[in-house]
Amino acid sequence: MTPAELTGRARTHVVDVADPSCALHEHAVAPFMNLRRAASAERFDLIAASSYRDFARQLAIWNAKFDGAMPLYDGSGRPLDGARLSPRERVDAILLWSALPGASRHHWGTDVDLIDRGAVAPGYRVQLNEAEFTPPGPFARLAVWLESNAARFGFFRPYRGALSGVRPEPWHFSFAPIAESARRALKPAVLRETLEGATLSGKEQVLERLDELHARYVAAIDWP
């Protein structure tokens, strides 16, 4: 991938899938559809609640959280009062659950947040939290099945709460054959060049600590 593709500033590596609606790296489409067919055989309606996400969208999420327009949570999922946090503390709180713009694995088109559409009523608002993926949550059965079967199709969970600074995300799966090369290619210098020209809230604090943040939240993942 090019630096622009790695950081979500270009989507020339991504294709749109009509059914189920999602956007994926061109080489991740077939593996994802194979995973979906296998899930269907077990009566799951597997879809991606989130797939490719561009830089602009990740930037909007980051700025809203840093500026107080979206809530912040601690490592246990409890709400934080952002107004009482220092800029450094806000950066740390955001990174527990959301990636830096330019550093999201969703930029690569390799990563998907998976749910079972058939397990919830129409209009249900998916939260993507631990309660949904553990009993008696609606996606608990899917979480068990994915844990046993996703690897057969090249997918793994990069965030298990062991090595990465990101909190465990049982819904987040990554297509390893492409994502691993992208992770290695996304060096701090590539990310720095991207962020220096962005209207990023907390930019001074982020750039000052970028090598540290990259090592903890980008380079470090929970490999199978």
**Whether pLDDT at 77 is above 90:** no
Q: What is the pLDDT of residues 60-70, one digit of tens each?
A: 999 999 999 99
Give dist(CA 66, CA 158) in Å, integer: 24
101 pLDDT above the threshold of 90: yes
Q: State the CATH class of domain 3-219.
A: alpha beta
Residue 126: exposure state from Cβ atoms within 10 A (0-12, 13-18, ≥19): middle
Q: Give the type of residue at 88.
A: R
Amino acid code (one letter) for 33 = M
pLDDT bin (cut points 50, 70, 90) of residue 209 is: very high
For residue 38, report the phi and psi dihedrals to the nearest 5 degrees.
-65, -40
What residues does each domain of the chain span? 3-219
Q: Reply yes or no on whether the pLDDT at 224 is more than 80.
A: no
Q: List the one residue out of 198, 14, 224 whose CA is nearest residue 100.
A: 198
Question: pLDDT confidence of 75, banded at 50, 70, 90?
Answer: confident
